[in-house]
Amino acid sequence: MKNTFIQVPAKALLLLAKVALPVLPFIFGFIFLKPKYILNYRETIQKLRIHHKALSQGPVRRYFESFFAVRLNESSQISGSCTQCGSCCLNQQCFFLEPIPEDKFQCGIYNSPFRKLSNCGAFPISGEDIERYDCPGYVLNPKTVIKIAVVN
Ligand code: SF4
């Protein structure tokens, strides 16, 4: 039941993105103030196709699972820091990802308020997130269980 509930908006969003693909370079170029998305139209479309395919392999479902709080949120048990490996950015296939020195990556729209509407602002929130991308920066700490002793 939960799965069906999540699958409907996930499939609808992916379909909408697919249909809108030809105009996305203009929309993204405008809202993220990146004329290169429009000037390099063919390259942008190519990268967006790869991005869309990667999105259809789980991240959109995850987005709705988090949005509707269906997904287990273990963020209070997670520690570590990001090493900028780019793995959680659709395995380095995110359209917005930009390479930087030392084999690291940075988000090209990190400071945009629109980014907050995406999946990326909430990663990782679970052990599943960490495992999915083999994140080298964060770990899920085991829960501390305080056992109740029997008092005689
Ligand atoms: S996978 Fe982990 S370490 Fe790599 S970019 Fe994402 S959060 Fe940072």
Calpha distance 54→60 (Å, rounded): 9
Q: Which of 90, 138, 139 to mutate to test the pocket of ligand 1 (most atoms within 8 A of CB)?
A: 138
Residues with CB under 6 A from ligand 1: 82-88, 123, 133, 135-138
Taking only the tens place, the pLDDT of each residue in 129-139 is 999 999 999 99
CB 135 within 8 A of CB 89: no
Residue 21 Cα distances to 10, 49, 51, 63, angstroms: 16, 8, 11, 20
CA nearest 14: which of 51, 60, 49?
60
pTM metric for this prediction:
0.84
Name the residue at shortest CA distance from atom 7 of ligand 1: 82
Name the residue at shortest CA distance from atom 4 of ligand 1: 85
Taking only the tens place, the pLDDT of each residue in 4-26 is 788 999 999 999 999 999 999 99
Helices and strands: H and E segment counts in the chain: 6, 4
CB 85 within 8 A of CB 136: yes
